[in-house]
């Protein structure tokens, strides 16, 4: 697994605990990017996140598309945009009229 050595450094400096929006982390045991334990750790560091382990399927979650799609749909319904916006406003009222200083960061 030498080619995946860089993954141990993946997002190591990212402040996952600062994420305040609803977050669903879905990861297969056999997905090396990042390794399963790292994905589990990332989810544990995001306040209130949900972690959905998948038995196999690699990075593309092959064979689990229906299960994953159902979970994503359920998660979106539970955390609809109106609720998320209201929650963010109540947590950080001073940020209501501020612009983002940088674009959001996406990672996997």
pLDDT, tens digit (0-9, with 9 covering 90-100), for 74-101 = 998 888 766 666 666 676 655 555 554 5
User: What's the rounded mean pLDDT across residues 19-28?
Assistant: 90
The answer to whether position 57 is within a domain reads yes
The answer to whether position 55 is within a domain reads yes
Domains in the chain: how many in total?
Answer: 1
The answer to whether position 53 is within a domain reads yes
pTM: 0.65
The answer to whether position 105 is within a domain reads no
pLDDT, tens digit (0-9, with 9 covering 90-100), for 38-79 = 889 999 999 999 999 998 888 778 888 899 999 998 998 888
Structural Rg of the chain based on CA atoms: 16
* Chain centroid to CA 42: 8
| DSSP secondary structure letters along 33-60 | SS-HHHHHHHHHHSTT-EEEEESS-GGG
Angle at 73 between CA 85 and CA 57, to 5 degrees: 125
Q: Which domain holds residue 33?
A: 23-93
């Amino acid at each position: 697994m030498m080619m995946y050595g860089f993954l141990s450094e993946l997002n190591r400096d990212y402040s996952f605990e600062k994420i305040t929006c609803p977050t669903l982390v879905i990861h297969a045991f056999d997905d090396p990017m990042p390794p399963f334990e790292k994905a589990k750790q990332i989810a544990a560091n995001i306040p209130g996140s949900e972690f959905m382990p998948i038995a196999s399927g690699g990075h593309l979650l092959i064979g689990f598309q229906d299960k994953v799609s159902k979970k994503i749909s359920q998660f979106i319904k539970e955390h609809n945009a109106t609720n998320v916006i209201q929650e963010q406003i109540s947590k950080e009222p001073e940020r209501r009229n501020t612009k983002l200083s940088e674009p959001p960061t996406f990672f996997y």
